[in-house]
Chain A
């Protein structure tokens, strides 16, 4: 319980920092776009690079066994999410972000620290594998539909679509880094250091962006909106259960299943917010759902802890 509370407070404080710079009039609501752009084009790619590049091929291979299961779960969650969006009659401009929020969880900021604190340091490669898969689906499937939300999809040719999907900086970072990790190259310090300094900013800046957006929304920020409860149930109940079922079916090691459940059963991924904001989709909706899901984590982490004693 203490652990959950600490993670929630940590996130809360950093969001508050974003809110604070707005109340001091240092920053205006419109500036959330600058920070999310920097995050999307520079900080997140650097984070991915330096988290993945030092993993050894053995670790990558071992962790890779969970990739198919996580990939299937993510895609199932997305499909369910999209169907639910249609069923709930969500506005057209929210369907993509809604389904994306159901598909991916906050690995970098919450998932990895919480899973190492609960299960030990040796789970990081598994958590990273989940993270990599989730980034991959967010920056392929997710971004396709999020841009569609924003009405950027009128003129689609197959080639253009493929280019748009693959020319996302975070995805390029994954595609470049994994082969590099396998090659075990000794990279110059200038590259790893730059990536580390910039990558370390990714999570705090995402949360500061959330704070700026919350300020921009004002009191409306915490008004409940249709679909948020579905996001929470999807994130904290359905996704981990799917991972559990599929993990047993695939005969994955027990530790791998636990990590994957924990990491997928986390609040909404903060990168979703950055993607929505920098592509002009309904980022206010994402911020709200993110805020609610962060508080929901307080209830669910103790539940997971209890559950893990039985598995």
Chain B
């Protein structure tokens, strides 16, 4: 029993580390070190340089050619889980009669999670470098489904009928993150030996990604603020989806495919992250209910800090 107490204490501390860094980001914005343009600035630096460096150096240190071959099954599990979540969300939206201009936003928040800005740092802090590979598999499925199914549904909210594979959204799929992962895999598969100075420099820069992504979350939370939070129709379902339904669906599918425990645990943590920040960016652009998306972002961010230690505790029984 003492071991599970240890686990939960460790998990609470890990979550506190995350909380402190988010709070620091919030504080930097509050003290006006970062101005209005701070969110944009950090988003570009994090997604363009810091996170890709982290992914690249992680792949180089953890991926082996054998693991590349077994990636197939590991990719199927989150893919199917997210698809199932989309189907469930469509059903529930109809049952509880979500207003028309927020059905797509609701479904997307119900089904996809913030795997990069919060998911990557959380995984790295909870599981260490070894957890990053499954996190990347999850990220791939999550991002592909967001920019196809999710964006299509959000566009429909705004009264536009796009297609699943709108050109504009396909471009969004080609990110520096994806590039870094592909180049990293290429280096591993070809067995290329990178010079030490290059690898170490990328390691150093990649190490900054964890705190700076979380600073960025703090900045985003500052912009959204906590004053406007009030209960909106469907919010309870979003919370239930993110923190109870999604992990359960994933657990079932993962067991079906006989995934190993570490991969499964990382997937569950990734799946139970807050809603994606891009949801409200996309909603705003398409004239959907972006306010609903921002409120859900704040609420689920806070809730995830409470749920994560709980999962880590439950994992001790797996």
Within 8 A of A (CB), among B1-38: 10, 13-14, 16-17, 20-21, 24, 28, 33-34, 38
B49 to A17, Cβ gap below 8 A? yes
By a CB distance below 8 angstroms, the chain B residues around A86 are none
Q: How many A-B residue pairs have CB under 8 A?
A: 82
Interface SS, A side: helix
Report the separation of the CA atoms of residues A236 and B40 in the bound assembly, to the nearest whole angstrom.
Answer: 42
By a CB distance below 8 angstroms, the chain B residues around A188 are 13
- B193 interface residue, CB < 8 Å from A? no
Interface string of A185-206 (1 = CB under 8 A from B): 0001110011001101101110
If A42-B24, A194-B21, A197-B21 touch, does A10 touch B197 (CB 8 Å cutoff)?
A: yes
By a CB distance below 8 angstroms, the chain A residues around B28 are 34, 38
Cβ 8 A contact of B45, one of A26, A193, A194: A26
Report the separation of the CA atoms of residues A14 and B10 in the bound assembly, to the nearest whole angstrom.
Answer: 33
A residues lining the B interface (CB < 8 Å): 6-7, 9-10, 13-14, 17, 20-21, 24, 26-27, 31, 34, 37-38, 42, 188-190, 193-194, 197-198, 200-201, 203-205, 208
Cβ 8 A contact of B207, one of A37, A189, A204: A204
Indicate the size class of the contact surface on chain B.
Answer: 20 to 34
Interface SS, B side: helix
A190 to B208, Cβ gap below 8 A? no
Q: Give min CB distance, A139 to chain B, whole Å.
A: 20
For the complex of A and B, list the 3 residue pairs with the smallest distance between their C-beta atoms, beginning with the closest.
A26-B44, A190-B13, A13-B201
A204 to B204, Cβ gap below 8 A? yes
Cβ 8 A contact of B125, one of A7, A9, A42, A193: A193
By a CB distance below 8 angstroms, the chain A residues around B45 are 21, 26-27
If A200-B208, A201-B211 touch, does A194 touch B34 (CB 8 Å cutoff)?
A: no
Report the separation of the CA atoms of residues A7 and B21 in the bound assembly, to the nearest whole angstrom.
Answer: 30
Name which residue of chain B comes closest to A8, CB basis: B197
Interface string of B169-192 (1 = CB under 8 A from A): 000000000000000000000000
By a CB distance below 8 angstroms, the chain A residues around B278 are none
B33 to A6, Cβ gap below 8 A? no
By a CB distance below 8 angstroms, the chain B residues around A13 are 197-198, 201
Known: A6-B195, A10-B201. 13 other contacts (CB 8 A): A7-B197, A9-B198, A13-B201, A14-B204, A26-B41, A26-B48, A34-B34, A34-B38, A189-B14, A194-B17, A194-B21, A201-B211, A203-B204
